[in-house]
Amino acid sequence: MFIADTPYAKTLRDHLVRSVRFAIEEDLGSGDITAQLIAEQATCRATVISREPGVLCGREWFEEVFRQINPSVELHWAKQDGDEICANDELVSIQGNTRSILTAERIALNFLQTLSGTASLAAQYAIALADKDVVILDTRKTIPGLRLAQKYAARVGGCQNHRLGLYDMFLIKENHIAGCGSIANAVTKAKEIAPDKKIEVEVESIEQLKEALALPIDVIMLDNFSAQQTAEAIALNHTEIKLEASGNMDLAKIQTLIENQPDYISVGNLTKHVTALDLSLRLQD
């Protein structure tokens, strides 16, 4: 998979370039003094391997780091985003200026291992629901500055994206409802503000669900509903409105909801409980 395969490719590419530039600035500062131990014109070959299994993600971030530091460094990939990888798999070989490779090493690996960790976790959820007609969605609970990168990684792992930010759809939650006075008031106002945008409403009870089902909205989020409540909500829904289960979801909790089959299950853990994949770069003799 590549960035070009996403519906927000241009925006993601712009974010990628800026996030890499910032990462280089915070690490490089006034210069890499340790790399100066190496002769200025020295060249080498290096490889990146995985020390554990997972799903690769972040090639284009890795490449952008080297492009900004020294575009003459050559990268030759053995894997692409979305590939399953095993411990000791060689992911990419690198040829070029030794100083540049060592300066870029940690920054490039940080992106690759973090996004691979996100994709690997997303793959676990996608596999768990592979034979079910349920879509796993990510959320906005992302690492600051890596929103679109992690959402891309969730797609690489086999899940789908919820809204990208606060701008592309309405998500009317408990505090919005309280501020507007009712669900109906909030939905009416949303239709006035941006009639072309999708509207999702969060409900915390069957009573609120019944109110929301009578309104012109697209999705209802069932916040922390039990399996029994979820089944009841699905039975009550005779509309075209989609139902989304949400609230502290993990693989164990999802297993209790699968048979009810809501349309969507949103999982904040996909992007907030991520452990970076263990990757290593080594210079070759």
Q: 106, 189, 210, 282: which one is catalytic? A: 106
Choose, from 79, 132, 140, 173, the residue flagged as catalytic.
173
Please answer whether residues 70 and 96 qualify as being in contact, where contact means their C-beta atoms are separated by less than 8 angstroms.
Answer: yes
Question: 148: closest CA among 214, 72, 58, 78?
Answer: 58
Residue type, 121: L
Q: The tokens 């993990």 sit on which residue?
A: 250
Active-site position among 90, 211, 218, 223: 223
For the question of residue 210 being annotated catalytic, the response is no
**Active-site annotation holder among 141, 191, 197, 272:** 141
Supply the DSSP symbol for 4. G
- Is 13 a known active-site residue? no
Helix (H, G, I), strand (E, B) or coil at 134: coil
Q: Please identify which residue in the block is written with the tokens 């008031």.
A: 185
173 is catalytic: yes
* CB distance 260 to 129 below 8 Å: no
Shortest CA distance to 56 belongs to which of 116, 111, 3, 113?
116
The upper half-sphere exposure of residue 187, i.e. CA atoms within 13 Å in the direction of its Cβ, equals 18
Please give the Cα distance from 162 to 154 (Å, whole number). 10
Burial bucket for residue 111 (CB in 10 Å: 0-12, 13-18, 19+): buried
Question: What count of Cα atoms within 13 Å lies in the side-chain half-sphere of residue 182?
Answer: 7
Q: Please give the span between the terminal C-alpha atoms of the chain, in angstroms, as a whole number.
A: 32
- Residue 163 among the catalytic residues: no
Residue 202 a catalytic site member: yes
Choosing from 64, 83, 138, 202, which is the catalytic residue?
202
Q: Is the Cβ–Cβ distance between 234 and 263 less than 8 Å?
A: no
**Phi-psi group of 224: left, alpha or beta (phi > 0 → left; psi -120 to 50 → alpha; rest → beta):** left
Which residues are part of the catalytic machinery? Answer: 106, 141, 173, 202, 223
